[in-house]
Amino acid sequence: MSVPNGITHRLSQEAAIRTVALVEDRTQCYVANLLSVDGSTIFRLMQKYHTTGSVNRKLGQGRKRKTSQRDDRFLRFTGLRTRHCTQECFKKRFQAPGCGAEYSGGKKSLARSWYASKSTCQST
């Protein structure tokens, strides 16, 4: 009972700790089937546990954020406020020349670019 190709599972912290405890009594294959994850996931977890003595993940792993949490919140609420604006309209407002495409990531610059786009861009 293995996991189909293309499906990835990340074990939570609790599941990782439980996995280490289960592997002490059972085989890695049995534990993988029990948790419905691929055997290589269990193998890598146990390899990490034997080398570091811990199953904790390193902080800061993953893709770097392009927008701040503040910008994400602004985009979400702006989308909710302007219900008449379709996804394509919303996208064009930030990509049109002079309408926020020069977003630099500075403080409040995304909000300023949006409000500037309302006066200079045509909304469809």
Task: Give a yes or no: residue 61 inside a domain.
Answer: no
| Domain count within the chain | 2
47 and 75, same structural domain?
A: no
Task: Give a yes or no: residue 4 inside a domain.
Answer: no
Domain holding 47, by residue range, is 13-52
Could you list the pLDDT tens digit for every one of the 124 residues in the chain? 444 544 445 788 888 888 999 998 899 999 989 888 888 989 999 998 999 888 887 777 778 878 788 888 888 888 888 888 887 887 777 775 655 444 444 445 566 666 665 554 554 4
Q: What is the pLDDT of residues 45-55, one digit of tens each?
A: 999 899 988 88
Q: Return the pLDDT at 110.
A: 61
Task: Give a yes or no: residue 89 inside a domain.
Answer: yes
Task: Give a yes or no: residue 95 inside a domain.
Answer: yes
DSSP string, the chain: -PPPTT------HHHHHHHHHHHHHS-HHHHHHHHT--HHHHHHHHHHHHHHS--PPPTT-SPPPSS-HHHHHHHHHHHHH-TTS-HHHHHHHHHSTTTTTT----TTHHHHHHHHHHHHSPP-
> How many angstroms separate the CA atoms of 2 and 101, rounded?
46
Task: Give a yes or no: residue 60 inside a domain.
Answer: no
